[in-house]
């Protein structure tokens, strides 16, 4: 918690002003929200120089603090990336507004009319790390779905985020909406994040985005309801009847197309009846793209370049050009392995057997379960949502890629003419 | 946490067996689940004497421990109540199975077919107090929706619940399903409940049912995602244009028809322009039914029998024949009062003014918002759901009355023919 009572009061005032802004925003028509998004995109383009100057400060500090190359890359903005951010905001303006959608409804036998209508959550908290693009993305998605956001973007991107939040607020105010729709609590430091997690009632939903450690900390510490956007220890199972060409291309695409993301495959399970026929071609294609194979003894026998795999490899989300590979006796052993090690993100089976395909689809308990397709398809853009808030690996509220509707709740509207309950 | 390592191990084994049972149940066809429900209903009828004998032990202990009359009534079963429980189980057998419902789906431009399908959560934990009917209700609802349940029913109903769970297990096993679909952790005492709240990954969702204290303890202590079935500080606002007859009947029905439940009204707000015209008749009707009016000075002036109201009254869910009443300057003050004191359950406006009606419906942030209808309509049965798991006052996943679909998650089924991501 915040040590200073003054900081604690200031954070309370921040959350109160977010609530007030959310009430205004909840009744704001789509057209005006879209005008705000257009103003944000314009502002990002016009003020690119200021954004990049602040970003250079963060990069300098990050390099001095020994941030990894991967983190520095995520932290980096340039002209093209700012332009892409502005374009993404305009794309969000084009999406259907989920607020007001009637999900279902009916007329009760007594004449009372009920309808379940989408409404914004209210105030959404977001805790993330070193990714200034998330600041703009999530603010735009929240605005379109009628939610105020309170952002905790972490110290590594603090300068960039401060400039971005100020630009967002000015743009929002330029169309007559309250700038408090988007606020940052970065000035309150880590203790501010802790307090945000305890702000039940003031914050309606908390979304952590970042490392497994960050997400786990939020999930275990927060009394505010959390939407978990989780890690992906993603599996592909090559069944005995797997089409070899499909196996080669799907495994390669799932690992190599973008290895650093959560829907990239991390473990390959191979039916022992398919190992000789399929595995050499699959692993050769991967190796040609620089993938390190971590294999058990049977994999090593087929592919001598494989390094030995241990328990660590089955548990790990590499997010790199590494793949754990093991031979299994069949579907049952594959399902048991997945039950034990999967993080519930995405799993795919390559098979030509209908019975095994249906069993895999039914029995694997993950957000996305696939047959004969690349795991890289678990993505809001690929699914046609137009934008993605993140990929939920929890079962409550949202599971899998989250679009704008997943940033809303519902309420029941009940219209009577004097009816009472019998 | 459990002090004894043996108990801790036994609880882990209980949760593991619930997981295994849930995997079997997830693939069980509706017909077989319905057979299990019919067997449960039969067993409840055939074994009523055993249930009532165990219930008498709980009632004797409860009386000796000084349980209140209200708690003893909730704890009490008799022939009629057991028969009603059995009937309710048969009703659940008649409901549509939510599992397998295709929520949405599409064919992607590359030919990949995606569909979002309802699936059970898996293992649902329920923590409740002194209500043996919940044991049967929630077990039947969970079974129909494909979920295993782990029950913590509290010491006051321990004997009744032990007999009920044993009957449920035997009935479930009689149709060839695993009895572990329904289990109790009552033998582990309070520490078992604490451990259940920390069983993230082993328990998919936790549902507390009972007092505000119980719900608050679960919400703040649990690392398992919680569905909050909350308290109801429910408001009715009599607008300046309120139809007096409707006001009299709706307020009376909302308070008197069943005062001990969460959708009963607790606070009446009256437009100062309607106080003289409407309030005397409303309060006279209530007083004739034995309702104690807790009023501010203006209410006391109009209705001398009113007892003085204080801050306590605005915050309180009486659940009894008491009603807090205050005069407000108009809609804005009513909305501000509701924002401050509502628990987000149900609020109703009595008005003939379209502008005020729409503002009320839009601006009140509650699970159910009504115009000219009794607050008692916020109910799964009234809404046509056929059964009710509880009424959610949170915004995540489910809001308002929860039926069977609210006891499910979804997963994405992706069917390809070798597609990879470009």
- Specify the DSSP class assigned to residue B97: P
- Region A243-257 average pLDDT: 98
Residues of chain B with C-beta less than 8 angstroms from the C-beta of A119: 365
Q: What pLDDT, in 10s, does the model give residues B276-329? A: 999 999 999 999 999 999 999 999 999 999 999 999 999 999 999 999 999 999
How, if at all, do strands B322-328 and B292-295 pair? parallel
Distance CA A72, CA B248 (A): 67
Distance CA B162, CA B67 (A): 20
In Å, how far from its chain's centre is CA B53?
28
CB burial string B318-327: b at 16+ within 10 A, e below: bbebbbbbbb
Token couple for B198: 């920390």
B34, B163 in Cβ contact below 8 A? no
**B68 lies within 8 A of chain A by CB:** no
Q: Which of B111, B256, B345, B395 to mutate to test the interface with A (most CBs of A within 10 A)?
A: B395
ipTM: 0.92
**A211 lies within 8 A of chain B by CB:** no
Angle of the A30-46 helix axis to the A48-64 helix axis, nearest 10: 70
Q: What pLDDT, in 10s, does the model give residues B329-382? A: 999 999 999 999 999 999 999 999 999 999 999 999 999 999 999 999 999 989
Contact B23 A253 (CB under 8 A): no
- Region B39-51 average pLDDT: 98
- Checking B164-171 for CB contacts under 8 A at 24+ apart, the result is B164/B51, B164/B132, B164/B135, B164/B136, B165/B135, B165/B139, B167/B40, B167/B43, B167/B44, B167/B47, B167/B50, B167/B51, B168/B40, B168/B43, B168/B135, B168/B136, B168/B139, B170/B43, B171/B36, B171/B39, B171/B40, B171/B42, B171/B43
Residues of chain B with C-beta less than 8 angstroms from the C-beta of A124: none
Q: What is the mean pLDDT of chain A?
A: 95
What are the two backbone dihedrals, phi and then psi, of residue A280, each rounded to the nearest 5 degrees? -55, -45
- Residues 6+ positions from A29 with CB-CB distance below 8 Å: none
B248–chain A nearest CA distance, Å: 10
Query: Nearest CA to A377 among A238, A245, A211, A234?
Result: A234
CB burial string A40-52: b at 16+ within 10 A, e below: bbebbeebbeebb
Residue B310's pLDDT is 94
Q: What pLDDT, in 10s, does the model give residues B81-114? A: 999 999 999 999 999 999 999 999 999 999 999 9
Tokens 């159910």 identify what position? B368
Residue B63's pLDDT is 95
- DSSP string computed for A301-337: HH-TTPEEP-HHHHH----SSEEEEEEESSHHHHHHH
Residues of chain B with C-beta less than 8 angstroms from the C-beta of A243: 418
Residue B294's pLDDT is 98
Contact A365 B119 (CB under 8 A): yes
Q: A353 exposed, middle or buried (CB, 10 Å; 0-12, 13-18, 19+)?
A: middle
Contact B225 A418 (CB under 8 A): no
Distance CA A351, CA A354 (A): 8
Q: What is the mean pLDDT of chain B?
A: 95
- Region B107-123 average pLDDT: 97
**B204 lies within 8 A of chain A by CB:** yes
Distance CA A390, CA A399 (A): 10
Residues of chain A with C-beta less than 8 angstroms from the C-beta of B373: 112, 414-416, 418-420
Token couple for B16: 């593991």
Residue B16, pLDDT above cutoff 90: yes
Residues of chain B with C-beta less than 8 angstroms from the C-beta of A220: 200, 223
Structural domains in chain B, sorted by start: 5-229+400-415 (3.40.605.10), 234-377 (3.40.309.10)
- Region A367-377 average pLDDT: 98
Which residue in chain B is spatially nearest to A108 when comparing CA positions? B383
pLDDT band at A318 (very low <50, low <70, confident <90, very high): very high
Neighbours of B394 (CB within 10 A): 21
Edge-to-edge strand list for the sheet holding A113-120: A102-107, A113-120, A408-419, B368-373, B346-350, B234-238, B265-271, B322-328, B292-295, B307-308
Residue A71, pLDDT above cutoff 90: no
Query: What does the angle CA A70 – CA A74 – CA A80 come to, to the nearest 5 degrees?
Result: 130
B141–chain A nearest CA distance, Å: 17
Distance CA B57, CA B55 (A): 5
What is the percentage of chain A residues whose pLDDT exceeds 90? Answer: 86
Tokens 């209808």 identify what position? B373
Residue B1's pLDDT is 58
A122–chain B nearest CA distance, Å: 9
- Region A367-371 average pLDDT: 98
Token couple for A258: 């973008």
- Region B393-422 average pLDDT: 95
Nearest by CB: A369 against B122, B252, B411:
B411
- Specify the DSSP class assigned to residue A361: H
B387, B405 in Cβ contact below 8 A? no
Contact A414 B225 (CB under 8 A): no
Residue B389's pLDDT is 82
Query: What does the angle CA A91 – CA A96 – CA A102 come to, to the nearest 5 degrees?
Result: 160
- Region A334-342 average pLDDT: 96
The two counts, helices (H) then strands (E), for chain A are 15, 16
A164–chain B nearest CA distance, Å: 29
Q: What pLDDT, in 10s, does the model give residues A77-92? A: 999 999 999 999 999 9
Q: What pLDDT, in 10s, does the model give residues A287-297? A: 999 999 999 99
Per-range mean pLDDT, top range of A66-70, B158-162, B226-230: B158-162
Cα dihedral sign, B138-B143-B147-B149: positive
**B292 lies within 8 A of chain A by CB:** no
**B354 lies within 8 A of chain A by CB:** no
Which residue in chain B is spatially nearest to A407 when comparing CA positions? B396
Q: What pLDDT, in 10s, does the model give residues A91-143? A: 999 999 999 999 999 999 999 999 999 999 999 999 998 789 999 999 999 99
Token couple for B176: 């060839």
B359, B330 in Cβ contact below 8 A? no
Distance CA B121, CA B135 (A): 19
**B96 lies within 8 A of chain A by CB:** no
CB burial string A381-394: b at 16+ within 10 A, e below: ebbebebbbbbbbb
Helical residues (DSSP H) of B175-321, grouped into ranges: 189-197, 212-221, 244-256, 272-288, 297-302, 311-315
Dihedral angle computed from the Cα positions of residues A228, B153, B144 and B231, in that order, rounded to the nearest 10 degrees:
-60
- Residues 6+ positions from A140 with CB-CB distance below 8 Å: A37, A40, A88, A89, A92
Residue A278, pLDDT above cutoff 80: yes
Residues of chain B with C-beta less than 8 angstroms from the C-beta of A108: 377, 382-384
Q: Which of residues 385-414 of A touch B (CB under 8 A)?
A: 394-397, 399-401, 409-414
- Point out the least confidently predicted range of A35-44, B7-16, B207-216: B207-216
Distance CA B317, CA A281 (A): 68
A400, B412 in Cβ contact below 8 A? yes
Token couple for B399: 């809001």
- DSSP string computed for B13-72: HHHHHHHHHHHHHHT--HHHHHHHHHHHHHHHHHTHHHHHHHHHHHHHHHHHTT--HHHH
Residue A1's pLDDT is 58
């Amino acid at each position: 918690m915040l040590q200073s009572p003054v900081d604690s009061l200031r954070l309370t005032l921040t959350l109160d002003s977010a609530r007030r802004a959310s009430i205004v925003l909840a009744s704001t028509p789509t057209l005006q929200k879209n005008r705000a998004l257009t103003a944000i995109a314009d502002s990002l383009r016009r003020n690119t120089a200021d954004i990049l100057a602040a970003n250079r400060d963060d990069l300098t500090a990050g390099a001095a603090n020994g941030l990894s190359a991967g983190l520095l890359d995520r932290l980096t903005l340039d002209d093209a990336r700012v332009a892409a951010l502005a374009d993404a905001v305009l794309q969000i303006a084009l999406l259907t507004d989920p607020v007001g959608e009637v999900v279902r409804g009916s007329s009760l036998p007594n004449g009372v009319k009920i309808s379940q209508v989408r409404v914004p959550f209210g105030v959404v908290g977001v805790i993330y790390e070193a990714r200034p693009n998330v600041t703009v993305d999530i603010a735009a998605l929240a605005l379109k779905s009628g939610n105020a956001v309170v952002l905790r973007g972490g110290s590594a991107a603090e300068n960039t985020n401060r400039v971005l939040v100020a630009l967002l607020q000015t743009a929002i105010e330029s169309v007559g909406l309250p700038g408090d729709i988007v606020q940052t609590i970065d000035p309150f430091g880590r203790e501010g994040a802790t307090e945000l997690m305890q702000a039940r009632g003031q914050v309606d939903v908390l979304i952590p985005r970042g490392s497994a450690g960050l997400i786990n900390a939020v999930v275990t510490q927060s009394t505010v309801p959390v939407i978990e956007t989780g890690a992906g220890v993603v599996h592909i199972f090559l069944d005995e009847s797997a089409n070899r060409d499909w196996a080669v291309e799907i495994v390669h695409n799932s690992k190599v197309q973008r290895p650093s993301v959560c829907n990239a495959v991390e473990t390959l399970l191979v039916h022992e009846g398919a190992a000789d026929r399929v595995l050499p071609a699959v692993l050769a294609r991967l190796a040609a793209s620089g993938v390190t194979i971590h294999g058990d003894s049977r994999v090593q026998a087929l592919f001598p370049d494989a390094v030995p795999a241990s328990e660590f490899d089955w548990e790990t989300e590499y997010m790199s050009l590494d793949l754990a590979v093991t031979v299994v006796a069949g579907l049952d052993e594959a399902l048991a392995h997945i039950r034990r090690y999967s993080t519930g993100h995405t799993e795919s089976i390559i098979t030509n057997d209908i019975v095994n395909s249906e069993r895999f689809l039914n029995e694997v308990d993950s957000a996305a379960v696939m047959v004969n397709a690349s795991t890289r398809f678990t993505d809001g853009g690929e699914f046609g949502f137009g934008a993605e808030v993140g990929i939920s690996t929890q079962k409550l509220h949202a599971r899998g890629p989250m679009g704008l509707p997943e940033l809303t709740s519902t309420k029941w509207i009940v219209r009577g003419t004097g009816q009472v309950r019998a």
